[in-house]
C-alpha cells in the first residue's frame, strides 16, 4: 500500500521577541500538504514542538497546550427524520452556511480545566464555540437539537474530534499531538492553531496553514466527473462496454 500521507507537522515553539509573559509560540510545519490517493484510508498527522521560556526555568509550571485543526467551511443541511404514515422520513431541516469540514481539538487536559467557558468562547475553542450561521431563524429548542445532531454526525464520520488522550506534554516543555484524518476529509485549506495556556489564561497563539488535496488517479477521476461530466459519462459507458465484452471472451475460454 502506498502511504499517501507522510507528513509531520513540526512545531518549533521557541524563544522569540520579548513579550509581556516571556513565553511565546513560534511554529513551523515541515510539510503543508496532504494528498489523498486511491489507496488513502486514513492518516495521522503528528504535531510536535517545544515551549520556550524567556526568563529561564522559574515559571515553567502548569502549561497547557490546546491545538485546533480546522478544515474549509462549507454549507451543510441537517435533516430530522419524523415518523410519518408509519415510516421514518426526512422532514424538518436546517441549513448551516459555514460548517468546518474538519474540526479537531487536542488538549493536554479537559478543556474546562484549562480555562473557563468564557475564555474558551472568546477564543473560539470547542464544538459549542464553532460559529454556525443558519439560513433561517430556528426556535430555541430546535436550535440546540439540530446543532447537536450536526456535531454528532460529524463526530461519527470522524470529522469532528475532541480528545485529550492524544496530546502529550513532557517536562512542561515538549509537546506532541496526533491528529487523525479519515478518508472522507474534505479537500482544501486547513488551519492549525496552537494555544498556550497557563493558569487559565492564554499566553500565546500560533497559526500554521495546511492543505489537503486529492492527488493522482483519484483526483483525476473526481475532477473529470465534476468538470467534464458528459465526457466522464461517455468514458464510463465505453469502459463498461469494453470490460463486459472482454469478460465475455475470457469467460468463453
Partner 1 sequence: MPFYLPIAEMSLNIFLLLGMGMAVGFLSGMFGVGGGFLMTPILIFAGIPPAVAVATEANEITAASVSGALAHGRRGGIDFKMGGMLIAGGAAGSIVGAQVFAYLRTVGQVDLMISLAYVVFLGSVGLLMLKESLTMWRRRVLGTLKPKKRDHSGWIHGLPFKMRFRKSRLYISGIMPIVIGFIVGVLAAIMGVGGGFIMIPAMIYILGMPTNVVIGTSLFQIVFVTASVTMQHSVNTQTVDIVLAMLLLTGAVIGAQMGARVGLKLKGEQLRAMLAIMVLTVCVRMGWGLVVQPEDLYSIGQVLQ
Rank residues 20 and 230 by Cβ distance to partner 1 and give the closer one: 230
Per CB under 8 A, the segment of 8-16, 46-54, 162-170, 234-242 that binds partner 1 is 234-242
Q: How far apart are CA 150 and CA 161, in angstroms?
A: 13
- C-beta of residue 95 within 8 angstroms of C-beta of residue 135: yes
Compute, in degrees rounded to 10, the torsion defined by CA atoms 116, 153, 3, 188: -80
Q: How far apart are CA 252 and CA 82, in angstroms?
A: 52
Q: Per CB under 8 A, does 154 bind partner 1?
A: yes
Rank residues 93 and 207 by Cβ distance to partner 1 and give the closer one: 93
Looking only at residues 32 through 61 of this chain, which bind partner 1 when binding is defined by CB under 8 A? 36-42
Rank residues 121 and 247 by Cβ distance to partner 1 and give the closer one: 247
Q: Per CB under 8 A, does 81 bind partner 1?
A: yes
Rank residues 74 and 121 by Cβ distance to partner 1 and give the closer one: 74
**Contacting partner 1 (CB under 8 A), which of 18, 20, 57, 87?**
87
What is the H or E stretch that residue 250 is in?
helix 229-252
Q: Per CB under 8 A, does 183 bind partner 1?
A: yes
Q: Per CB under 8 A, does 2 bind partner 1?
A: no
Q: Per CB under 8 A, does 156 bind partner 1?
A: yes
Tell me the three cell numbers of residue 112: 474546562
| Count of chain residues binding partner 1 (CB under 8 A) | 63
**Which among 131, 127, 80 has a CA at the least distance from the CA of 104?**
127
Q: How far apart are CA 71 and CA 203, in angstroms?
A: 24
Return the DSSP state at 92.
Answer: E
Q: How far apart are CA 44 and CA 38, in angstroms?
A: 17
- For the bound state, the minimum distance from the C-beta of residue 177 to partner 1, rounded and expressed in Å, comes to 24
- For the bound state, the minimum distance from the C-beta of residue 144 to partner 1, rounded and expressed in Å, comes to 12
Q: How far apart are CA 36 and CA 44, in angstroms?
A: 13
Compute, in degrees rounded to 10, the torsion defined by CA atoms 21, 18, 69, 222: 170
Q: Per CB under 8 A, does 168 bind partner 1?
A: no
Looking only at residues 101 through 140 of this chain, which bind partner 1 when binding is defined by CB under 8 A? none
β-pairing verdict for 87-100 and 52-53: unpaired
The number of C-alpha atoms within 13 Å of 183 and in the hemisphere containing its C-beta is: 8
Per CB under 8 A, the segment of 10-18, 52-60, 189-197, 224-232 that binds partner 1 is 224-232
- For the bound state, the minimum distance from the C-beta of residue 127 to partner 1, rounded and expressed in Å, comes to 14
Q: Which chain residues interact with partner 1 by CB under 8 A?
A: 1, 36-42, 74-83, 86-90, 93, 95, 145-146, 148-150, 152-154, 156, 183-184, 214, 217-219, 221-222, 225-226, 229-230, 232-237, 239-241, 243-245, 247-251
Amino acid at each position: 500500500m502506498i502511504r499517501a500521507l507522510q507528513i509531520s507537522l513540526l512545531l518549533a515553539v521557541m524563544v522569540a521577541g520579548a513579550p509581556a509573559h516571556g513565553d511565546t509560540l513560534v511554529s513551523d510545519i515541515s510539510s503543508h500538504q496532504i494528498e489523498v490517493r486511491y489507496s488513502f484510508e486514513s492518516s495521522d498527522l503528528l504535531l510536535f514542538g517545544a515551549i520556550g521560556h524567556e526568563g529561564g526555568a522559574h515559571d515553567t509550571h502548569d502549561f497547557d497546550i490546546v491545538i485546533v485543526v480546522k478544515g474549509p467551511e462549507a454549507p451543510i443541511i441537517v435533516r430530522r427524520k419524523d415518523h410519518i404514515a408509519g415510516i421514518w422520513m426526512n422532514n424538518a431541516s436546517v441549513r448551516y452556511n459555514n460548517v468546518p469540514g474538519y474540526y479537531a481539538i487536542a488538549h493536554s487536559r479537559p478543556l474546562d480545566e484549562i480555562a473557563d467557558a468564557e475564555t474558551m468562547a472568546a477564543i473560539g475553542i470547542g464544538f459549542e464555540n464553532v460559529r454556525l450561521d443558519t439560513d433561517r431563524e430556528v426556535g430555541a429548542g430546535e436550535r440546540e437539537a439540530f446543532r447537536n445532531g450536526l456535531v454528532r454526525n460529524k463526530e461519527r464520520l470522524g470529522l469532528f474530534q475532541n480528545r485529550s488522550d492524544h496530546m502529550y506534554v513532557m517536562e512542561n516543555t515538549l509537546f506532541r499531538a496526533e491528529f487523525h484524518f479519515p478518508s472522507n476529509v474534505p479537500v482544501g485549506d486547513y488551519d492549525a492553531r496552537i494555544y498556550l495556556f497557563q493558569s487559565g489564561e492564554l499566553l500565546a497563539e500560533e497559526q500554521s496553514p495546511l492543505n489537503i488535496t486529492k492527488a493522482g488517479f483519484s483526483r483525476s477521476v473526481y475532477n473529470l466527473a465534476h468538470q467534464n461530466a458528459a465526457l466522464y459519462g461517455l468514458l464510463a459507458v465505453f469502459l463498461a462496454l469494453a470490460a463486459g465484452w472482454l469478460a465475455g471472451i475470457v469467460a468463453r475460454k
